[in-house]
Amino acid sequence: MREGIQTSLFRGPCWFQGNRPTSSHEVALEFTGNVLPRHGFVCHRALETVEGATTVEVVDQDDWEPDPDDAEQPDPLVFEHLPPNAFSAATLLWIHTINGLAIARRLVTKMPAVKRIDLSQPYPTEEDAVGVLQAVGGERELERFEAKWVKGVGEGGLTWGDIADQLPTISKVDVTVEVPDDLGDGDAAGEFGIACVTEGSRSSPSGRGPATPSSGWAIALFHERVYVMSQELMRAAKMYNHVTPRDILVFIKHFLGLVREKRELTKFKDTEEQVDEMLVWLAEKDKDLAVLAAKKRRTGVFLFPFPLA
């Protein structure tokens, strides 16, 4: 635990500690012991609002090693006893453990001022990542949402646009999607949607590396430019609108459609070139046959359809 003011929140088979360092205004929720999901939690005392904390972090305690085969997330129902404004000033929720995703869904309902959610450490599944956003709700706004190495994404890519009305408006989304090791660069855009970031497209368009004109780079550039334009309009006190997950997915669908159309046009052009080359080859063969026929006529060689008697 960090140095600061420590308050024991829960006791029982699993206990949590709230730690509020006076210097950084953070609350770290650590859990240890034999965590029993959804039951076995005893509220030690009435919970009070944690005032002044601007960051809430969920971490594993160093000596706690959960069963890797146990896929059930710790989901302490005791969080339901926290008031809706328990973390009234907290703007950042930072999850450091794969075992804190269910807890994150409960915490965001107690953080009315949350503006940034960071899931860059847990390596969540798509279901877990979108579940945290659903817990935030469709009426709220986030400045940034980060989820690194999201797993369990199908060939259709991220499908969050189907439930866009249940998700918050997000100014900036940073999502990295895990793809199969044998996925080729040319197949990524067509098969995995937004998960089409390849080795050749990891350079930033700011000039720090060779900017490969790939689908992943184009999508990232599109989102970045829209965000910058929104910020400029906001500073100029003009009308602006943040890009929602549905807007991004609509763009991706349109962009991938153009990629597929371009591929078909490229195939059609290749076929046309092959036909032209075949016509030239046939024309040359016709000339060769005409020359051969003329030589035979000059030498008096004639071909008959039946043998001479």
Which CATH number do you get for residue 167? 3.80.10
Same-domain status, 54 and 151: yes
Of 108, 129, 244, which Cα lies nearest the Cα of 175? 129
Q: What is the pLDDT of residue 202?
A: 37
| pLDDT at residue 158 is higher than 50 | yes
Q: How many domains does the chain have?
A: 2
5 lies in some domain? no
Distance CA 106, CA 149 (A): 22
Distance CA 156, CA 158 (A): 7
Q: Where are the alpha helices (DSSP H) in the chain?
A: 101-107, 126-136, 185-192, 215-235, 245-298
- Give residue-wise pLDDT tens across range 44-97: 333 444 667 888 888 876 555 555 545 577 777 777 778 888 888 899 999 988
145 lies in some domain? yes
Same-domain status, 54 and 171: yes
Query: What is the reported pTM?
Result: 0.51
96 lies in some domain? yes
Q: What is the pLDDT of residue 142?
A: 92
Domain boundary among 154, 179, 204: 179
Of 158, 120, 149, 136, which Cα lies nearest the Cα of 245? 158
126-153 per-residue burial string, b: 16 or more CB within 10 A, e: under 16: bebbbbbbbbbeeebebeebbbbebeeb
The helix (H) or strand (E) run that includes residue 7 is strand 5-8
Same-domain status, 233 and 287: yes
Confidence of residue 1 (pLDDT cuts 50, 70, 90): very low
Tell me the three state secondary structure of residue 63.
coil
Same-domain status, 257 and 158: no
Instruction: For residue 232, count CB atoms less than 10 angstroms from its CB and return exposed for 0-12, middle for 13-18, buried for 19 or more.
Output: exposed
Q: What is the pLDDT of residue 109?
A: 92
Same-domain status, 52 and 115: yes
Distance CA 227, CA 212 (A): 22
166 lies in some domain? yes
- Give residue-wise pLDDT tens across range 170-203: 888 888 776 666 655 544 444 444 433 333 333 3
Instruction: For residue 235, count CB atoms less than 10 angstroms from its CB and return exposed for 0-12, middle for 13-18, buried for 19 or more.
Output: exposed
CA atoms within 13 A on the CB side of 132: 27
| pLDDT at residue 144 is higher than 80 | yes
203 lies in some domain? no
303 lies in some domain? no
| pLDDT at residue 221 is higher than 50 | yes
In one-letter notation, the amino acid at residue 278 is M
Q: Rg of the chain's alpha carbons, rounded to an integer?
A: 31
Domain that holds residue 108: 21-31+47-62+73-179
Same-domain status, 221 and 161: no
Residues 230 and 240: beta-carbon distance below 8 Å: yes
Same-domain status, 166 and 26: yes
Same-domain status, 224 and 141: no
195: Cβ contacts below 8 Å, ≥ 6 apart: 153, 157, 158, 177, 178, 179, 188
Tell me the three state secondary structure of residue 258.
helix
Same-domain status, 175 and 239: no
Same-domain status, 26 and 175: yes
| Cα distance from N-terminal residue to C-terminal residue, the chain | 113
Residue 180 has which token pair? 């199969």
40 lies in some domain? no
